[in-house]
Structure 1
Amino acid sequence: MRIAILVEGATEKAFEPILQEFLKSRLQQKMPKLKFISYDGRIPKKEKLKRSVENLLTGKDAFNAVIALTDVYTGTNDFQDAADAKAKMTDWVGNNPNFYPHTAQHDFEAWLLPYWSTIQKLAKSNKSAPRGLPEQVNHDSSPAYRIKAIFETGKCQRSYNKIRDASAILKNQDLMVSVNLCPELKAFINTILSLCEVSEVNLIP
């Protein structure tokens, strides 16, 4: 099984190693070959997304499936929420059974919020975690903004760096901590598990 995962940029790439390790522990011999394809900003829209997906699913080195992972908050007003983002990506690509749209609501950093104690240590700050579930932190003060703020007000005296700090936050973490708090992350991982023909028992409830 070969799966292409379209992602927006550096932060999601930092997620790749911990995702690989998590999947290996569950899939073992059925572990797929994953390829993260970064678009350095945001994944394509409309006809460009359709062409990208079709190109990846055809040809000599074709993938068996393509997953698109976008933020709901892209700096534009394209998406209202996770459901809207997935519906629009599905519409853009068309009726393609090998395309699987997924999203982080509101941005990828929502999946980092469950590791707030690690964020505090890196930022050298005791600033409290945002209230509520990670994926319910809103557009007005998104998860990425919250993490940026704790770094800039902490004693580390620097701003949040997506590549360096996302990797440091995720290092040696138990991904199930975030999965249990983030339904969109759970759905994304369950898509990969189901593509690898894992029994329903092994899907994350």
Structure 2
Amino acid sequence: MKIAILVEGATERAFKKKLCEFLQSHLGQKMPRLHFITQDGPIPKERKLKKLVETLLDNNGYHAVIALTDVYTGKPDFKDANDAKEKMRIWVDNNPNFYPHTASHDFEAWLLPYWTTIQKLAKHNLSAPSGSGSPETVNHQKPPSYWIKEIFRTGKRGKDYNKVIDGMAILKNNDLMIAINACPELKAFVYRIISLCEEDKIIS
């Protein structure tokens, strides 16, 4: 199974290693080949997305394409996660091998469950944002990335938050299942990959 995953940028690349470790532990020999295709900005829209998906499926030999977009893009592109997924489906004419997924509101929502680790890395005891028990509900006015940048900015470490380096450090020694259980959109994304490789696989 060869799967292309369209992602927006650096933070998602930091996530790849942890994701692959988790999938390997559950899929074994059925582990797919995952190719993260970075857009260096928002996931393409409308005809551009359709063309990209068709090229990957028809010309580049991928069996499936997953798009992973932030709901919070800095622009009023999407009302919420469901709106984002529905629009992407429409843009690609409901291609059966295309699977739209979201990080609500941005990727850093999936790091919030590890707030204790974030505090240690930032060397600051700033409390977790309100609502962090449901990380994907942390709002557009102060999205998850804001909170992580803020604790690093004010902490004693003396360095700003680096999406790749610190993202990997936050995830490194933590169990990804903690974030999966706290974040429905992450769970849907991970389970999508697993179901594409082993349809009836159940993980816990």
Shorter-chain TM-score range:
over 0.9
- Residues 17-64 of structure 1: CA distance to partner in whole angstroms, max 9, x if unpaired? 0000000011001110000000112211111111100000012x4100
TM-score normalised by L of structure 2: 0.96
Q: Please, which runs of 5 or more residues in structure 1 have no aligned partner?
A: none
Worse-matched range after superposition: 179-188 or 87-96: 87-96
CA contact (8 A) 2:105 2:143 kept: yes
Cα deviation for residue 203 of structure 1 reads: 4.6
Paired residues, what number? 202
| Match of residue 30 from structure 1 | 30
Q: How many angstroms apart in 2 are the aligned matches of 1:70 and 1:154?
A: 30
**Distance (whole Å) between structure 2 residues aligned to residue 184 and residue 156 of structure 1:** 31
After TM superposition, list the pairs within 5 Å mapping 1:11-30 onto structure 2: 11-30=11-30
Which runs of 5 or more structure 2 residues have no equivalent in the other structure? none
- Residue 172 of structure 1: aligned partner: 173
Residues of 2 paired with 1:107 and 1:137: CA distance?
9
Task: Determine if contact 1:194/1:203 at 8 Å carries over to the other structure.
Answer: no
Q: Secondary structure at the match of 2:96?
A: coil
Matches within 5 A, 1:26-175: 26-59=26-59, 61-132=60-131, 133-175=134-176
* 1:179-203: CA deviation from partner (whole Å, max 9, x where unpaired): 0100000000111011002424x15
1:86-109 per-residue CA deviation (whole Å, 9 max, x = no partner) reads: 011111111200000000000000
Tell me, what secondary structure is at the counterpart of 1:34? Answer: strand
Amino acid paired to 1:176: M
> Which stretch shows the higher mean deviation, 154-163 or 140-149?
154-163
| Preserved CA contact (<8 Å) 2:26 2:203 | no
Shift of 1:158: 2.2
Amino acid at match of 1:163: V
Paired amino acid for 1:191: R
- Distance in structure 1 (CA, Å) of the matches to 2:203 and 2:165: 31
1:141 alignment partner, SS class: coil
Query: In the alignment, is the contact (CA less than 8 A) between 2:106 and 2:145 conserved in 1?
Result: yes
- TM-align CA RMSD: 1.0
Stretches (4+) displaced over 6 A: none
Q: Write the letter of the residue equivalent to 2:22.
A: F
The alignment-based identity, stated in percent, is: 65
Aligned equivalents of 1:179 and 1:79: distance in 2?
A: 23
Q: Distance in 1 between matches of 2:168 and 2:11?
A: 8
